[in-house]
Amino acid sequence: MEARIGSDAKGDCTAIATSESGPKLSVTTKAAELLETGLRTIAERTLADLDVADASIELADAGALDYVVAARIETAVRAVHGDAAKPIVPTVERTVFDADRPRRSRLYAPGNNPRLLAGIDIHGADCVLLDLEDSVPIGEKAAARILVKHVLAAVPFPEEVWVRINALDAGGAEDLREILLGRPHGICLPKSESAGDIERLGSLLDAVETEYGLPKGATKIMAIVETAKGVLNAAQIAAADARLVMIAFGAEDYTRDVGARRSDRSLLFARSQIVAACAAARIQASDTIYADVSDDEGLAEEANLARELGFDGKGAINPRQIPAIHQAFSPSAEEIERAQAIVEAAREAETKGLGAVSLDGRMIDKPVLERAERLMKYAETLAKGGGGRA
């Protein structure tokens, strides 16, 4: 039996495990004098961690980083040796989850593409989404989830890091068990259609967190709402679980589901519904990705529209989209000035013992004041570098 994992694409490697009795390790690489020893070291360490002393491995390197080599070998070995191989539990340092952090941008990265994953942390996004679902072909799901696990451990993410798993009945549960060893901040559930979907994920997370000795509730949930049902159930979804911190809208699938032609108009209901649901549940809302990477103007327009509707951020499929998205979702100088004026007026009113707050002859009521305070806090967080710097 043989398992061949990975590819000869730049930044990847190919690991072939066979059931032939070992131990055997052959390594091919360019610049062998420079690289072979290091590759052997990483391969041997990985095999030791997997606890398979007699494995037979052929490794062909194309400039893969250590964690890619480890992931490809682990995947190949587990495919051949099954339960005899121990899944690797990496050491992970993860920044503490901050519910209030800016989530202006949500940068997707395909979970089985080492070249695009390398350096996914450097683009200054607020959130990074490592994807196991639509960007990973069926035959590569196992390789992807193990690679993502290693990425989670090895890459020094300053961003909040999420993993979009497959639907729970399409491999999502296996995804979960693997990638939770990498302790992402949260899990994105595609095609979230009901509170039940979220509750189901929540229970699974409870069980796995307990099994892995992780703090209960540590792993958050982002619901991706991309169907008619999901949009209609947005309010229940938003309130379904304490772990849920954000709903992201997926326009492509939604448009297809309702049979509409994609436009600002045809998406207005879905967008507004989601924004309202998130506001009622006091969680964040993120708008859909903009597919045309070369259309800077179109992106900026759509991002501004999303901001106008009340979204907190937007998805991105290419790092070059991040600056425009951050610009749309960061408070403008005028907004900050106005918010500052309101907050100061409120402070003044309090010191003077006045019952009502007024500014420029207008009454400032409580919700307006609260929003101004939130905006000031948000602006402060951004100024201190609390979000990504693209």
Query: Where does this chain bind another protein (CB under 8 A)?
Result: 10-11, 31, 33-39, 41-42, 61-67, 116, 118-119, 122-123, 154-156, 318-320, 389
**How many angstroms separate the Cα of 242 from the Cα of each of 166, 257, 376?**
21, 28, 26
CB 39 within 8 A of CB 67: no
Those residues whose C-beta lies under 8 Å from the C-beta of residue 358, and which sit 6 or more positions away, are 345, 349, 364
Structure-block tokens of residue 111:
């979970």
| Cis? peptide before 23, omega within 30° of 0 | yes
Query: Smallest gap, in angstroms, from Cβ of residue 119 to another protein?
Result: 4
Query: Smallest gap, in angstroms, from Cβ of residue 231 to another protein?
Result: 32
Closest by Cα among 184, 250, 193, 248 to 220: 184
**Residue where the block lists tokens 């007024």:** 358
Query: Smallest gap, in angstroms, from Cβ of residue 319 to another protein?
Result: 5
Structure-block tokens of residue 140:
């590569």
Residue with smaller CB distance to another protein, 119 or 196: 119
Query: Smallest gap, in angstroms, from Cβ of residue 32 to another protein?
Result: 9
Query: Smallest gap, in angstroms, from Cβ of residue 18 to another protein?
Result: 25
Q: Are strands 127-131 and 105-110 parallel, antiparallel or unpaired?
A: parallel
Those residues whose C-beta lies under 8 Å from the C-beta of residue 131, and which sit 6 or more positions away, are 108, 109, 110, 111, 163, 164
Residue with smaller CB distance to another protein, 279 or 383: 383
DSSP bridge partners of 6: 14
Interior angle at CA 208, CA 207 and CA 213, nearest 5: 105
Residue with smaller CB distance to another protein, 107 or 221: 107
**How many angstroms separate the Cα of 331 from the Cα of each of 108, 112, 311?**
24, 36, 13
Query: Smallest gap, in angstroms, from Cβ of residue 66 to another protein?
Result: 6
Closest by Cα among 124, 126, 130, 123 to 109: 130
Residue with smaller CB distance to another protein, 275 or 382: 382
Q: How deeply is 272 buried, as exposed, middle or buried, from its count of CB atoms within 10 A (0-12, 13-18, 19+)?
A: middle
- Distance of alpha carbon 21 from alpha carbon 34, whole angstroms: 29
Query: Smallest gap, in angstroms, from Cβ of residue 271 to another protein?
Result: 28
Residue with smaller CB distance to another protein, 36 or 49: 36
Query: Smallest gap, in angstroms, from Cβ of residue 47 to another protein?
Result: 15
DSSP 8-state symbol, 139: G
Q: Please report which helix (H) or strand (E) contains residue 224, including its range.
A: strand 220-225
Residue with smaller CB distance to another protein, 117 or 142: 117
**How many angstroms separate the Cα of 353 from the Cα of each of 66, 133, 238, 348?**
64, 57, 39, 8
Query: Smallest gap, in angstroms, from Cβ of residue 382 to another protein?
Result: 11
